Structure 1
Amino acid sequence: MDIRDLDRRAGAVLGEVVMQVRPEHLWFPTPCPDWTVRGLLRHIVSENEGFAAAALNGSAPVQAWNGGRLGDHPSGAYRRSNARVADAFADGGALDRLMEVREYGSFPRRIALTFHQLDCVIHAWDLARAIDVPYDPPPDLVEQAFALARRIPDTDAVRGPGAAFERSVKVPGDASDFDQLLGLLGRNPDWVSPLD
């Protein structure tokens, strides 16, 4: 399995949702408590730019991780930032080289890509749910994301307000793998927009 291929596919799946965002959606709430659709898109673009810069240079300044700009065309900003990620990780022989991921520490680039792939799979759901469009991620992307999510400690020291993920929420035992993944990462699979 080439994690670069999985990540490119996850980025494309997220891109399909981003392309459905219309200007009137930008101020809609999302399942991410502190973000509107615009704020979430800005976060996604910023993360792409941070991952790309850190992959190329070993680390990236905080501005790279937080400074993404959407301009007047959020989908174009997303496409450009996603292409930068693919380009930055294209040299497969260097996937074991270390890179710093935000404040979380240094990891081999192949591991960092699994973080990025997880973000794409989850944030695509966040956006899809916010703008009320269908989203059905491919099972292998869910499986890869689930494998990583199980390794993220579910403690107050690691999760909660201001952290990458909220504490996990309970979902029924017979829930789909994807719904279990959402619950594991602190999302309620039954979330509906307060605008509905």
Structure 2
Amino acid sequence: MADIRELNRHAVDYSVTFVSRITAADLGRKTPCSAWTLADLLSHMTVQHHGFAAAARGTGADPAVWAPRPLAGDPVADYTAAAADVTAAYAEPGVLERDFDLPEFGPGFRVPGAVAIGFHFIDYVVHGWDVARALGEEYRLDDALAEPALRIAAAVPNGDERLRPGAAFAPALPESDATPLDRVLTLLGRSPGWPH
């Protein structure tokens, strides 16, 4: 498998492409993330970058770095800076072997960096799609990302934890074999035809 850091960088950079098209008038748009508006999703995505960057640098156990925040005066610039920060954190020497504290997954939850970056990668494949769909734009999953994204999506547990409030993903939908992206989305509870 390709270096998960490079796959993640590609997914995050692609998300920046769509986020950079958001205007103030778009922030109230609905998204595939249940009750979230585009403003809510953008806030979540920005905070998650900060949280994962902190985890990569050894300070992820602090719940404050994961706390939701209101959007900044220029949310697109804030998101772009957060994306650059997490990519830089992942490029630091030894990050794949370092343990990441991810308290959002539960008290004391800790995993090796390579696994944590895989979590971040699949999140930004899906959230990049979420933003694109909210804007009415097409999202194309790069061929180099398709197999790793499918493998990680298939490994995400599909039990009762997906029914809990705030769960990262909804229960899996009946599998679609139209495209690798459709399969990733249905595995993670997204309808590829959203909003229909």
Deviation at 1:68, TM superposition (A): 4.1
Please give the alpha-carbon distance, in whole angstroms, between the structure 2 residues aligned to 1:159 and 1:67: 20
* TM-score normalized with structure 1 length: 0.91
Q: Output the aligned Cα RMSD.
A: 1.5
Query: Where do 5+ consecutive residues of structure 1 fail to align?
Result: none
Matched AA of 1:128: A
Identity %, equivalent residues: 37
Q: Quick check: 1:50–1:60 contact (8 Å CA) kept in 2?
A: no
Q: Counterpart in 2 of 1:180?
A: 183
* CA distance in 2: counterparts of 1:23 and 1:112, whole angstroms: 32
TM-score (norm 2): 0.91
Shift in CA distance, 58/98, structure 1 to aligned 2, threshold 3 Å: farther
**Structure 2 vs 1, CA of residues 54 and 69 (structure 1 numbering), >3 Å: closer, same or farther?**
farther
1:22 matches 2:27: no
Unmatched 5+ stretches in structure 2: none
CA drift at 1:91: 2.0
Does the aligned pair in 2 maintain the 1:30–1:36 contact within 8 Å? yes
Instruction: Say which SS state the counterpart of residue 71 (structure 1) adopts.
Output: coil
User: Residues of 1 paired with 2:182 and 2:128: CA distance?
Assistant: 14
Shifted more, 16-25 versus 54-63: the winner is: 54-63
2:92 matches 1:91: yes
1:77, distance to aligned residue in structure 2 (A): 0.7
Distance 1:94 1:20 in 2: 31
- Match for residue 146 of structure 2? 142
Conserved in 1, the CA contact under 8 Å of 2:150 and 2:184?
Answer: yes
Is 2:66–2:104's contact at 8 Å kept on the other side of the alignment?
no
Give a deviation string over 1:122-159, Cα, whole Å, max 9, x none: 00111111110121120222321211111111111x21
